Amino acid sequence: MGRLEGKVAIVTGGARGMGAATCRLFVAEGAKVAIADVLDEAGAALAAELGDVAGFWHLDVTSEADWAAVVRDVEARFGPVDVLVNNAGILHFAGLLDTTLADYRRVLDVNLVGEFLGIKAAAPGMVARGKGAIVNVSSVDGMKGANGLSAYASSKWGVRGLTRVAAMELGHKGVRVNSVHPGGVDTVMTNHDGSPRDKVDERFGNIPLQRVGAPEEVAAATVFLASDEASYLAGAEIVVDGGMIVGAYYQGMPGAPGMD
């Protein structure tokens, strides 16, 4: 405990799922946390649960005005922002030829433009103090193709490029920028119908760890990147996907489960 002692963090999409898990772990590690989300009720409830070291701010990540207000208000309450976690994201399932321009732009606006605006809002204060950490949440689908996810995969590949440019431009100014790439995680985004955990695990039976991930497992990687333990990481990509990107088992072949 205490790996983030004295740090002030903004976590977007912080009201539920991976964002909420990140907020809880950040507080447990000593940080003061701004929960930023459009889900007002859930965000306020989480802030009440975490106590005086947390607060909720309504934030539409696609709004430059919202970003400016949140950074200003968080600094007034908690002090200078040391960590930004760009976690907010949305998912849209549709074949490429069935994806409308409006849906494509909506996903890019939240998942990619939202992170760009977050960096623009939070980084100047970090640069002025010569220190800070930004963690951009991308996806394993930002490292590979996935049918039905043209908008989502495009946005998450874009986050990789944005992260690398930000790491290059801000690193020599004391601001570390890195990314986390979750695979399937047991949140509303992946488990939208609320299936039992064992049923969700079955969907991931052909990846090395043969299960869906827990939000806390992604949060742990984010804590590491936000902490001083990651002081020599810039532009790094931490994949938290149970081995999904490694590949899928060919059932019945040597080395597959049951064939050892």
**Rounded CA separation 39/59 (Å):** 9
Is residue 257 within 8 Å of residue 249, measured between CB atoms? yes
Helix boundaries (H) for 137-258: 150-171, 197-202, 215-226
Identify the residue whose tokens are 């309504």. Answer: 58
Hunting for tokens 């968080």 — which residue is that? 74
Whether the CB-CB separation of 13 and 19 falls below 8 Å is answered with yes
The neighbouring-strand residues paired with 133 are: 83, 176
The residues annotated as belonging to the active site are 152
* 176/169 Cα distance (integer angstroms): 10
What is the biggest distance separating any 2 CA atoms in the chain, rounded to whole angstroms? 60
